[in-house]
Structure 1
Amino acid sequence: MKLCLFLLFAGLMDAVLTNLGITFGLIEEGNPIMRLAIEKSWVIFYMIKICLPLALIGLYWLRPLIGWRRILLVSTCVIYFSVLCYHILWILLYMNHFPI
């Protein structure tokens, strides 16, 4: 369950940081599906980022995430952690480029 909650938190953080980065022209969305969602509406983008982890939490209650399902969950968490590290990197680069 902790991994599911991390995934929800990481998805929300990714959505907020992506929104800020795109709004300020610092980054572009690399995922073509999410880019399409952003072009349609930021609401759609946020709904995807929130609903997918919530669906995973719902599945967790129906069936324990063991075996290959747990491996996929851990892999997804590792990928999201690396995405958050990428966001931290561009934020630090931006802050160093424009000192306060």
Structure 2
Amino acid sequence: MESVKALPTPKDRLLNTCFLLFCLCMIDAIFTDFGIRYGHIEEANPFVRSLYDVNVIAFYLLKASLPILLFILMHYMKPSYIIRNLLIVALIFYTLVILIHISWMIIVLAFI
């Protein structure tokens, strides 16, 4: 007898989305670190730039802590339309940021 796989609940989907957002944040942090370290880019956010200048580990901890905090909050919150849409906007934003990082990496690699 075959078992039926249940579809993920709305809460599970939101938690999965939070995990995806965490992954995108970490990719952004790695690309940003690479770009700053090798002088290809400058961090546009003054707070993050000063944090990076003081301590790179703190930079990574900040980048990781925000989606982790969101993941923890989402675990205790009811899924709502507003939260779901805000997560979608954040995913779109970080996807665009990753695409920008990829484009400048292609440009940098073309001139090496």
Distance between the aligned counterparts of 2:24 and 2:37, measured in 1?
20
Which residue in the other structure is 1:27 paired with? 41
The structure with the largest alpha-carbon Rg is 2
Distance between the aligned counterparts of 1:30 and 1:61, measured in 2?
32
Letter in 1 for 2:35: G
Runs of 4 or more above 3 Å deviation: none
Distance between the aligned counterparts of 1:66 and 1:58, measured in 2?
16
Q: Secondary structure at the match of 1:28?
A: coil
Matched positions, count: 98
**Percent sequence identity over aligned pairs:** 30
Give the one of 11, 16, 25 matched to 1:2.
Answer: 16
Distance between the aligned counterparts of 1:16 and 1:92, measured in 2?
16
Which residue in the other structure is 2:10 paired with? none
Give the one of 70, 76, 80 matched to 2:94.
Answer: 80
Distance between the aligned counterparts of 2:38 and 2:90, measured in 1?
28
Which residue in the other structure is 2:8 paired with? none
Distance between the aligned counterparts of 1:65 and 1:14, measured in 2?
26
Give the one of 42, 50, 59 matched to 1:45.
Answer: 59
Q: Secondary structure at the match of 1:30?
A: coil
**Residues 11-39 of structure 1, C-alpha deviations (whole Å, 9 max, x = no match):** 11111111110010000001122112112
Query: Unpaired segments of 5 or more residues in structure 2?
Result: 1-14
Give the C-alpha shift of residue 2 in structure 1. 2.1
Which residue in the other structure is 1:15 paired with? 29
TM-score (norm 1): 0.92
TM-score (norm 2): 0.82
